[in-house]
Amino acid sequence: MLSYKIFVGFSILWLSTFPFYGTIGGMESITLSPKQQEIQAFAEKYQSQLAPNKNPHIQYFFRLDQATVSVFSSGKVLFQGAKAAHYAGLFGHQPEKSSSSPASQNFALIGTDEVGNGSYFGGLAVVASFVTPDQHDFLRKLGVGDSKTFNDNKIRQLAPVLKEKIAHQALLLSPEKYNEVIASGYNAVSVKVALHNQAIFLLLQKGINPEKIVIDAFTSQQNYNKYLKQEKNHFPNPVSLIEKAEGKFLAVAVSSIIARDLFLENLENLSQELGYALPSGAGSKSDHVASQILQAYGMAGLQHSAKLHFKNTEKAQKLLER
């Protein structure tokens, strides 16, 4: 059972982050979180249409027929353009019948999201935010709902404003604590269930009274409920796991921005401690930096800064053997 006591070692802050779904000037925008195998298959199929992109958090950027596809280090994939739905359909996306207009979220809502799940270095940040309808105009004026266009500097500028104005609860599971929890029997999904549940629980403890609670789906409702039984802290409010929720609900969007800021702060602090610039994501750059840390500090260095069960650990070890 991952109880509150374990969270004592995590940084608990007030923060937020978000992506976007819908249309921008008539251009359709869709964000999915497909499996890594699906991403790699797509990358191989459209390798000839890879294009350069200055965003450091984009692993692959494709210029396709009437659409662009951005694969982020977080594992999320953004489709934009007239044929966005066509390419998203290759990942099993089905157009939604329900409206995601402002009226569809015209109620007090807790929304949660996590950042860091797809990054080898850095911790796992989860944030729950409480947003009411009278805050929607303020959030839209800030640009919440279109965070995919923001660079890290913009995220760092927005986060303090959101932390001050929006009630939220943030949790950071440090890499070291993450590795301990995984070693104790948790897996990548059950850890996220524990963190999302704990963030919501702590926010509700502050007297928040939401009409709905939405989690940006990272697993099925059945899996979530199964792992939830292992947790100590429970609450009576029903929870909905909704795909692409950060583009449909401003509360989830806020949580996404704050969580991104928290993750970046943790990555920066770890970089300063070790004397190496730790990259986000889990690409080849992470392998090389990990091998340098291994050489300088041994496995203890990676235990402190990275998620050891990622394949990057094995790749870094092989790099040292050459």
- State which fold the 107-267 domain adopts: Nucleotidyltransferase; domain 5 (3.30.420)
Predicted pLDDT at 136 = 93
Interval 121-142: pLDDT, tens: 999 999 999 999 999 999 988 8
Task: Give the pair of three-digit tokens for residue 159.
Answer: 């986060």
Average pLDDT over residues 9-38: 51
Query: If you average pLDDT over every residue of the chain, what do you get?
Result: 85
DSSP string, 65-101: TTEEEEEETTS-EEEESTTHHHHHGGGT-----S--S
- The verdict on whether residue 38 carries a ligand-binding annotation is no
Share of the chain above pLDDT 90, in %: 62
Average pLDDT over residues 9-16: 31
Residue extents of the structural domains in the chain: 29-88, 107-267, 272-319
Residue 9 CA, chain-centre distance (Å), reads 20
SS3 191: helix
Bridge partner list, 121: 306
Average pLDDT over residues 23-52: 78
CA distances from 164 to 18, 140, 194, 298 (A): 17, 16, 26, 40
Residue 162: band (very low, low, confident or very high) from pLDDT cuts 50, 70, 90 = very high
Residue 88: band (very low, low, confident or very high) from pLDDT cuts 50, 70, 90 = confident
Interval 217-249: pLDDT, tens: 999 999 999 999 999 999 999 999 998 888 889
Residue 191: band (very low, low, confident or very high) from pLDDT cuts 50, 70, 90 = very high
Q: What are phi and psi of 43, to 5 degrees?
A: -60, -40
Question: Which top CATH class is 29-88?
Answer: alpha beta
Predicted pLDDT at 307 = 97
Predicted pLDDT at 14 = 28
Predicted pLDDT at 85 = 85
Average pLDDT over residues 191-207: 97
Interval 250-287: pLDDT, tens: 999 999 999 999 999 999 999 999 999 999 999 999 99
Residue 36: band (very low, low, confident or very high) from pLDDT cuts 50, 70, 90 = confident
- The verdict on whether residue 287 carries a ligand-binding annotation is no
Average pLDDT over residues 78-89: 86
* pTM flag (> 0.75): no
Share of the chain above pLDDT 70, in %: 87
- Least confident segment among 8-22, 60-74, 212-226, 228-242: 8-22
Burial 228-263 (b: 16+ CB within 10 A, else e): eeebebeeeeebebebbbbbbbbbbbbbbbbbbbbb
Whether residue 19 has pLDDT greater than 80? no
What contacts 24+ positions apart, CB below 8 Å, involve 95-103? Answer: 100/21, 100/22, 100/247, 100/248, 102/136
